[in-house]
């Protein structure tokens, strides 16, 4: 067993994040955990890798938001533009 009494806040958060990574592997929660914790970009860019077309995978701040569908932009005058980067 792990003694968490000596953990500070950052150590405890890191422990919880790693425990969730192991416990919830292959359940599709990792990306949302990384986004919620504000570490998606540094973690995913550190992994790197190539996609199916041998293009380097680099995540940017625009990848933190989804693009709004064109039908929503066209059908709602209150929406002045898409999310940043899209």
What residue numbers bound the domain in which 51 lies?
4-60
Taking 80 as the threshold, does the pLDDT of residue 1 lie above it? no
- The verdict on residue 26 lying in a domain is yes
> Could you read off the pLDDT of 25-81 as tens digits, one per residue?
899 888 899 999 999 999 989 987 788 888 888 889 988 999 999 999 999 999 999
- The verdict on residue 69 lying in a domain is no
- The verdict on residue 56 lying in a domain is yes
- From CA 41, how far away is CA 53, in angstroms rounded? 21
Q: What pLDDT, on the 0 to 100 scale, is given for residue 84?
A: 92
| Number of domains the chain is built from | 1
Which is nearest to 42 in space by CA: 63, 67, 69, 72? 63
- The verdict on residue 65 lying in a domain is no
């Amino acid at each position: 067993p792990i003694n968490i009494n000596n953990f500070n806040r950052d150590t405890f958060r890191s422990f919880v994040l790693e425990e969730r990574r192991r416990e919830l592997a292959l359940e599709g929660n990792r990306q949302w955990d990384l986004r919620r914790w504000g570490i998606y970009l540094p973690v995913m860019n550190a992994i790197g890798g190539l996609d199916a077309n041998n293009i380097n995978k680099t995540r940017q701040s625009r990848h933190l938001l989804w693009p709004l569908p064109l039908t929503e932009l066209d059908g709602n005058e209150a929406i002045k533009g898409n999310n940043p980067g899209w």
